[in-house]
Amino acid sequence: MFAPTFQGFKLILGSSSFSRKKILGEAGYQFTTMSADIDEKGIRKEKPEDLVMALAEAKADAIVGKLKTIEKKEKYEDPTVVITSDTVENSQSKLHGQADAERTLLITCDQVVVYEGEIREKPSSKEEAREFLKGYSGGHAATVSSVVVTNLCSGLRKGDWDRVEIYFHDIPEEIIEKLIEEGIVLHVAGGLLIEHSLLLPYIKEVVGEIDSVMGLPMALTRKLVEDVL
């Protein structure tokens, strides 16, 4: 079952990101996860701040829709049964039927990297990842991370974004090739994973919070949670 958090509210992290799960867990929160499975390429904005906010909101809408579908299915199959399993899919069937289960918060996020004014999302290929990493070498980039918190009981939703500046030493080509061969950088915004043991020695300076670079700015998340309670 969900463990009580945030004044008795239960928590869903709308992300499958290992880094976000790690940050939230290390902050002491108990939660379950769901994925939105949206077409992120179908949402386009010129400004990075607008893009990450639009994507985080779209993810929230998609997950809320999933929860409503699950609720309807459970009611159709057996409207008299109270589900108490330890999975999001089953326990959320109570979201709109019982007051206690409605006390749930949903956190959704998104992130892009900005390099020389260009928005960078997840690399589409090894070649693009290589181009991204070579560009960072000896240079500067920024992460723009959004957080949207939805109170599933009241429907109240708040969101905002956080920006962090990152400065790099020269990154040796052999390090770039090892990162690409390993493959993890293909699944993160801008191919940028500064906490990786191979890349970390070449980080010159980070202006902002590391958890924001990793995808979940906790100070902002706590503020938004308070705003929707």
Residues assigned a catalytic role: 86
User: Residue written as tokens 């999302």?
Assistant: 121
Helices 126-136 and 173-182, axial angle in degrees (round to 10): 140
Rounded Cα–Cα distance for residues 224 and 216 (Å): 12
Rg of the chain over Cα atoms, rounded to whole angstroms, equals 19
Element (H, E) at 142: strand 140-151
Rounded Cα–Cα distance for residues 211 and 164 (Å): 10
Element (H, E) at 220: helix 218-228
Element (H, E) at 210: helix 210-213
The number of residues in the chain equals 229
Rounded Cα–Cα distance for residues 191 and 19 (Å): 14
Write down the H helix ranges in 78-199: 88-91, 99-102, 126-136, 173-182
